[in-house]
């Protein structure tokens, strides 16, 4: 339906309800003559007389009554839809879909879930754990969380954590059989547990930094997996050395379940960022999630 046709129907409905061209014209902010012209155009287009006019009154014909009865519920539905959209902007509700790696889910999102739901009971979070690099827009996500070095440049990015740091760790049982590595090159003689990107099949590089600059070590991977929980579990069981974010394994280091080696060789890299496309009209539910997740989280103020 064209805009002019919609305007004609709304004009007719106003006259049918007001039973007066003058009152309907005031309601529509039109002149009575313009309104009369609009009604004539509608009647000519439909080939039917919709209103009986006298010098004292205006009343719908039977065709006009039938049309008005059909129009009223349709117009009411449209008005309710518009009203609900406006209300949702005042009281956030709806679904927010976020793509994020398992480590970010544990350390950034999980600590806020209960409090976020208490503040926004009408918002539903759909969290999709994905350690690969996903195009959040193409996959239909509202936002993503990734390390800052992996955030696409055309996105709006909000920093969530301090810089991160990798850690080489092994269990005491593993080191009971093997000597502690003193330099990155020493890990070539160790059994290693390595992350493999599921999309490309590439292994995560064991990168270090020393006095002579960056250093990448090609390790002997006895286990590869695309799941950081599995890598951690294998390291805890003594299968070999794992290369994981320090914040992810910090509690196990503190408890003595894992031994942290080569600490001086592991340099910080950009922490986690929430990122999302720059749109002129952001849904209120997404805005609420962004504002809430930016608040300081006590569990994130410790070691990274």
Domains of the chain (ranges; CATH) run 3-90 (1.10.10.10), 94-163+270-300 (3.40.190.10), 164-269 (3.40.190.290)
E strand or H helix at 146: strand 143-147
Instruction: Say whether pLDDT at 172 is over 70.
Output: yes
Helices in 53-186 by DSSP H: which ranges? 62-90, 102-104, 113-119, 172-175
Predicted pLDDT at 57: 81
What is the number of helices (H) and of strands (E) in the chain?
10, 15
The three-point CA angle 94-100-106 to 5° equals: 100
CB 78 within 8 A of CB 86: no
- Looking at per-residue confidence, does 78 or 172 come out higher? 172
What is the arithmetic mean of pLDDT over 48-58?
85
- pLDDT-derived band of residue 155, with 50, 70 and 90 as boundaries? confident
Predicted pLDDT at 169: 97
pTM for this one? 0.62
Please give the DSSP secondary-structure letter assigned to residue 203: B
Contacts of 84 (CB under 8 A, 6+ apart): none
Predicted pLDDT at 302: 41
């Amino acid at each position: 339906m064209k805009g002019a046709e919609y305007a004609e129907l709304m004009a007719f409905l106003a006259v049918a309800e007001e039973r007066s061209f003058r009152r309907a014209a005031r309601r529509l902010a039109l002149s009575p003559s313009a309104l009369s012209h609009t009604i004539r155009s509608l009647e000519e287009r439909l080939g039917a007389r919709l209103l009986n006019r006298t010098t004292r009154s205006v009343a719908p014909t039977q065709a006009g009554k039938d049309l008005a009865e059909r129009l009223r519920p349709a117009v009411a539905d449209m008005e309710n839809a518009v009203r609900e959209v406006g209300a949702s902007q005042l009281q956030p509700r709806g679904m927010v879909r976020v793509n994020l790696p398992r480590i970010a889910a544990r350390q950034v999102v999980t600590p806020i879930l209960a409090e976020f739901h208490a503040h926004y009971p009408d918002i539903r979070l759909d969290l999709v754990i994905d350690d690969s690099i996903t195009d959040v827009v193409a996959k239909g996500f509202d936002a993503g969380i990734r390390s800052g070095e992996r955030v696409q440049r055309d996105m709006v990015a909000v920093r969530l954590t301090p810089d991160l740091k990798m850690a080489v760790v092994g269990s005491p049982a593993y080191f009971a059989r093997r000597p502690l590595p003193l330099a990155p090159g020493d890990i070539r003689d160790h059994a290693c547990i390595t992350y493999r990107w599921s999309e490309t099949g590439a292994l995560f590089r064991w990168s270090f930094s020393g006095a002579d600059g960056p250093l990448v070590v090609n390790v002997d991977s006895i286990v590869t997996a695309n799941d950081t929980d599995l890598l951690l579990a294998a390291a805890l069981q003594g299968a070999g050395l794992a290369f994981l974010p320090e914040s992810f394994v910090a509690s196990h280091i503190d408890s003595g379940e894992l031994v942290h080696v080569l600490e001086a060789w592991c340099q910080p890299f950009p922490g986690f960022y929430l990122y999302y496309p720059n749109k002129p009209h952001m849904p209120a539910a997404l805005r609420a999630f962004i504002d809430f997740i930016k608040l300081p989280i006590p569990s994130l103020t410790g070691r990274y």
